[in-house]
Structure 1
Amino acid sequence: MTNFETVVIEKVDKVAILKFNRPEQLNAMNRQMMDEIIEAIDLINCDEDVCVAMICGEGRAFMAGADIKEYGSQTNEEFIAFQQKGKRLYESIENSSKPWIAAVDGFALGGGLEIALSCDMLVASDQSKMGLPEVFLSLIPGGGGTQRLIQKIGINRVKEMLFFGAQYNAKELNNWGIINRVFSNNSFMDEALTFASKLSRRSAQSITQLKRLANLSTTTLDFNQRIEDEAQTVKDLFLQDEAQAAIQNFIKKSEK
């Protein structure tokens, strides 16, 4: 795969791991890093051998948001381009046919949390801290944080996180429904990889359709249309060889 300076791609069986690699800067994202993340996501999405993708960070952080020194020195044109590329980054995760898991160990702040929110699932170590602190800069989250967060938790919690800009621990956010699993810091990557590997053994065609339909439920499309889409999808899958073979295999095992 392509050699990058600010990110690393690793593969373990059918799981691709995208690792942010600016540990001295707590993996804060500058323009180069954003470009490399987008390219890495595209490579993973196009890799037919990959069933599940996982994002993590090197060192003490998942990602501590944007690189403020570079962010604050941007021209208007550079700022607009940065925001547009960010939109592509988040959407390339959401619109992928593969499931993406954010594996947060340490800080996930600002744009780092927004990347995690764009993933299908989020696992975290018990030492993690997450938040959207943009209000302290007289700004707001600009990478979908105000909208994706409401898809995960209730609006009162969303407003608390946005208005106060505070950092929250993994236990709190697990109770709120943002985090799927909390693992021990001492064994975090092993447990996160086990979680991802288990998912990689599920039917890829089923997972692709499940992701699409689950995401569809957050849109304004009429409920009856979504139900019809679900019915048509299960019919299409049922008629395919993979499902027929799995059904027959189940029947044979149950008869023993």
Structure 2
Amino acid sequence: MSQSSSEPIAALPAARAVTAAAAQVDDLVATLPGPAERSAEQRAAVAEARRHARDHADAFLRLHAERLYAEVTGDRSRYLRVDEVCAAAAEAVPGLVPTRARVDAELRLPPAEKEGLDIDQSILVAHLLRSAVTGPHLMEAMRRPTARALALLPEFERTGVARLDAVRVEVRDGAAHLTMQRDDCLNAEDNAQVEDMETAVDLALLAPSVRVGVLRGGVMSHPRYAGRRVFSAGINLRCLQAGQISYVDFLLRRELGYIAKIVHGMTGERDRAWDGDVAQKPWVAVVDSFAIGGGAQLVLACDRVVAERDAFFSLPAAQEGIIPGVGNLRLGRVATGRLSRQVILAGRRVSASEPDGKLFFDEVVPAEEMDAAVAAEVARMDAPAVVANRRMLNLAEEPPEAFRAYLAEFAVQQARRLYSEDVMHKVTRFAAAPRAAAVTG
């Protein structure tokens, strides 16, 4: 390079090309009506301009992603979360990704009115995750405790209870019971629930009094399941249809944040010391009624699973047109390749009581025996060597490099699927259906 490495990265010719191409897109869009009112020719012109700008961004990041990350993180001295990295990158190289203000404004729009700015973010995140320098650092940043959890921790340690809007956490006999309580939507996840779930998982991992984590759904008020416990109905399709599911703060945060913490533990200052000990604890999933979509992904992240006899497991993301998080990677740990394709590609439901149910559920009991079965599983997981062995099992089954490679590809593929015509059509149809909340994924 002819430029000094001390120069701001925005001074590089490739960075200036990114900014100029993005400005051309903005100038074109400013002359046109909103996305929903554009003619076919106008949509094609915008698509071509965006492709040109994204090609410049991709070329820039192939060469300079590590330098950009070093600039925004102080040469990796600061641990920024994905949303913070994207916001800092938008300032460092204007036009590379949308600013935080533009992201927030777009989140308030219905899908048909969105410009698809998530795709620009996905290109950046994918390049950062693919790098052996920036990827592990970003993943470590996402597995550090949140500021919210640290602020709540003293009171949680004192009382053993945390009441969040979407989740209640209660410590009993060394186990943190996380009860998902979005009773109106069958625990279908949205941005707010992901925020609460990460806080709850952090509290369980941080509290010295907690040795085992338990995930369970609360009692529902939804007409179809009133008075019954439900584990999770997956992503909230009504929020997705309204455009209120954030790419960074939901789809990426969920996988890199609280679910990664369940599987691989919470990172901290001494992780690289010879005696560094990532905060890990065993997790038990308790499945009442069903685990659909994102709920099924949670089941795959846990060490032991207790299920009600009438419960079922389902990952219908392909029918909805999206990717079921890290479910494609983790399903192969418990199922054959053929069964995985039946579940993900063909939408097969696996009942707890059928023979293949044994692949997903460790204990299957009648509803009236669930509490006793959960207590037995907690006691089984509360043994001195469990943490070390589950850590080694997870390293063997999901090595960090494989996990990182999967997420790098997921970042782009999921963003592209979100703006496909078939997804918009299906999500609108699902959201209009009376039983939509029960068939989310």
* RMSD (CA atoms): 1.9
Structure 1 unaligned spans of 5+: 222-256
| TM-aligned CA distance change 1:173 to 1:73, over 3 Å | farther
Q: Is the 8 A contact 2:190 2:250 kept in 1?
A: no
Deviations 1:11-48 (A, max 9, x none): 21111110100122111111111100000000000111
**Partner AA of 2:254 in structure 1:** G
Q: Is the 8 A contact 2:350 2:357 kept in 1?
A: no
Q: Distance in 2 between matches of 1:68 and 1:13?
A: 37
Deviations 1:218-248 (A, max 9, x none): 2469xxxxxxxxxxxxxxxxxxxxxxxxxxx
Select the residue among 177, 187, 209 that pairs with 1:27.
187
| TM-aligned CA distance change 1:197 to 1:176, over 3 Å | closer
Q: Is the 8 A contact 1:129 1:167 kept in 2?
A: yes
Q: What is the DSSP-based 3-state SS (H/G/I as helix, E as strand, rest coil) of the residue aligned with 1:63?
A: coil
2:321 paired residue number: 138
Deviations 1:50-79 (A, max 9, x none): 111110001231000011111222269x22
1:103 paired residue number: 286
1:66 to 2:235 alignment: yes
Q: Distance in 1 between matches of 2:346 and 2:327?
A: 14
Deviation at 1:155, TM superposition (A): 0.7
| TM-aligned CA distance change 1:75 to 1:51, over 3 Å | closer
Instruction: Map 1:1-256 to 2 at 5 A.
Output: 1=156, 2-59=162-219, 60-74=229-243, 78-87=246-255, 88-96=257-265, 97-141=280-324, 143-172=325-354, 175-200=357-382, 202-203=383-384, 206-219=385-398
**Partner AA of 1:70 in structure 2:** C
Q: Distance in 1 between matches of 2:371 and 2:378?
A: 10
TM-score calculated relative to the size of structure 1: 0.79
Deviation at 1:91, TM superposition (A): 0.2
Q: Distance in 1 between matches of 2:177 and 2:356?
A: 23
Report which of the two structures shows the higher radius of gyration computed on alpha carbons.
Answer: 2
Q: Is the 8 A contact 1:117 1:149 kept in 2?
A: yes
| TM-aligned CA distance change 1:212 to 1:183, over 3 Å | same
**Partner AA of 1:63 in structure 2:** S
Q: Is the 8 A contact 2:189 2:236 kept in 1?
A: yes
Deviations 1:190-231 (A, max 9, x none): 32122213432x11xx2221011111222469xxxxxxxxxx
TM-score calculated relative to the size of structure 2: 0.47
**Partner AA of 1:92 in structure 2:** K
Deviation at 1:171, TM superposition (A): 2.0
The percentage of aligned residue pairs carrying the same residue is 24
**Partner AA of 2:264 in structure 1:** N
**Partner AA of 2:394 in structure 1:** N
Q: Distance in 1 between matches of 2:333 and 2:395?
A: 12
Q: Is the 8 A contact 1:14 1:197 kept in 2?
A: no
Structure 2 unaligned spans of 5+: 1-155, 157-161, 220-228, 266-279, 401-441
| TM-aligned CA distance change 1:149 to 1:73, over 3 Å | same
Q: Is the 8 A contact 2:350 2:356 kept in 1?
A: no
Deviation at 1:113, TM superposition (A): 0.7
| TM-aligned CA distance change 1:119 to 1:4, over 3 Å | same
Deviation at 1:5, TM superposition (A): 1.0
Q: Distance in 2 between matches of 1:139 and 1:199?
A: 34
Q: How many residues in Structure 1 have an aligned counterpart in Structure 2?
A: 216
Runs of at least 4 residues off by over 6 Å: none
Q: Is the 8 A contact 1:16 1:50 kept in 2?
A: yes
| TM-aligned CA distance change 1:75 to 1:196, over 3 Å | closer
Deviation at 1:174, TM superposition (A): 5.4
Deviation at 1:169, TM superposition (A): 1.0
